[in-house]
Chain A
Amino acid sequence: TQLLEQSPQFLSIQEGENLTVYCNSSSVFSSLQWYRQEPGEGPVLLVTVVTGGEVKKLKRLTFQFGDARKDSSLHITAAQPGDTGLYLCAGVKDSSYKLIFGSGTRLLVRP
């Protein structure tokens, strides 16, 4: 059983569309991170959210941390083929060193 559940698992959309992926848990996290992984490469950190209700923007990507710090979402506006990849959320519990990774959302943006 995954501590962090991501949905959807797969998403195929047309260039220009908007999308939202979700990261949910029954546990509280002190912070949550989002990574993007491209084929043949390791995950790359996109953002860290720390405060419940926090919203961060990275160009066309908007990240939100739930008020209760149990969930997070990633919204992409006007998706581009370069956004294609595996999106992973990862949570930190309390002062733990461990990053707990979600199962991932595999995104394909078709030109």
Chain B
Amino acid sequence: GAVVSQHPSWVICKSGTSVKIECRSLDFQATTMFWYRQFPKQSLMLMATSNEGSKATYEQGVEKDKFLINHASLTLSTLTVTSAHPEDSSFYICSARDLMPTRGGSPLHFGNGTRLTVT
């Protein structure tokens, strides 16, 4: 089935540094990808919609200058957390839309997530 690879699966960084998270669709083209954040014991909250070749659309309250999203190809979207602070520590997970899902399959595929810890 369709696979979305997300890398790294976990990362620890120091406060003030930047971290890049990659989301790659391995066997399908994803013109649209989505980035979510999940705090412990909470639900997933949409951060932004990433469109190939154009600027990302950010949800209200999400700082676009802090969470930089680039979707330069049909198979890769990246999320860069700039000048990370401890409050940015969270689980970040991407999903990609599959325009040709298998019968009974999901039109969306999630990566395995990235656990970010900022010290």
Do chains A and B stick together as partners? no
